[in-house]
Amino acid sequence: METVSLTFSNQLAILELNRPESLNAMNEQMLTELLAKLQEVEKSDAPILLITGKGRGFSAGGDIKTMLKEADHEKFLDIMETIKQLMVTLYRLPKLVVAAIHGPAAGLGFSFALASDYLIATKDARLAMNFIGIGLIPDGGGHFFLERRLGEAKAKQLIWEGKPMNAEEAFQLGLVDEIIEDASEIHEKIAQWQTKPLQAMIETKKIYTELNKDRLLQVLHLETIGQQKMRQTEDHREGVRAFLEKRQPNFIGK
């Protein structure tokens, strides 16, 4: 069964994360399919891409239980390489990309949404860069995308706290561009964009992404190195145990 669906309608590409039973948590299959679908969008003539999540939320982030089964070093590097290709492809996609968040958007799922050009959230959205809860650091370019929206100091503080934010809190920080009542309003925004000179808008995007692509690649490389280090720590092992046992972790700083 596909974990990602892609449809085209009226010059609009719609990409939907499709693991609703796990709040669209990203396992290796979904990451691979996301990359393939984005490459398909890139070759299409649709100037706008809308990204959504099926079910009760956008994406709960990386699938921790699945990742635990794939904990060996080589598999980890393979997954991080896929994440790197995915995020660079999304960031540089020569389309206008809208991410529509409802319910949870956490961890890697939040990084994925932040790579879009315009981030819309419904009032029930809950956003969190919550890697710290299991003793890890953001990946998927999370450091890059947060710094660009918040600046270094606030990005660090948000990463270190890891606390969930509602849509209004995220909007006030500048992490969300617009809040809507429900998902039906998304297509009103799309319709507005479809009346604009889209090729001129996309050309502006290309200039910025060309200027910034090397820095994103550097961040993704450093995240891979840092994440591998964190996976060896006592705090990470305790964070995972606490997650699986549904309790607060007892970190010791090691």
State the average pLDDT over residues 218-236: 96
Distance CA 242, CA 238 (A): 6
Residue 242 has pLDDT above 80, yes or no: yes
Mean pLDDT of the chain: 95
Long-range contacts of residues 198-207, Cβ cutoff 8 Å, at least 24 apart: 198/47, 198/48, 198/96, 199/47, 201/96, 202/47, 202/94, 202/95, 202/96, 205/94, 205/96, 205/117, 206/94
Q: Per-residue pLDDT averaged across 127-147, rounded?
A: 97
What pLDDT digit, counting tens, does each position of 8-26 carry?
A: 998 999 999 999 999 999 9
63: amino acid identity, one letter? D
Q: What mean pLDDT is predicted for residues 215-241?
A: 95
Confidence of residue 68 (pLDDT cuts 50, 70, 90): low
The confidence band for 69, taking pLDDT boundaries of 50, 70 and 90, is low
Complete domains list, the chain, with CATH: 4-182 (3.90.226.10)
| Greatest CA separation for the chain | 55
Query: What is residue 68's three-state secondary structure?
Result: helix
Quick check: 66 and 29 in contact, CB under 8 A?
Answer: no
What does DSSP say about strands 4-9 and 12-17: parallel, antiparallel, or unpaired? antiparallel
Q: Which of 130, 121, 118 is nearest to 193 (CA)?
A: 118
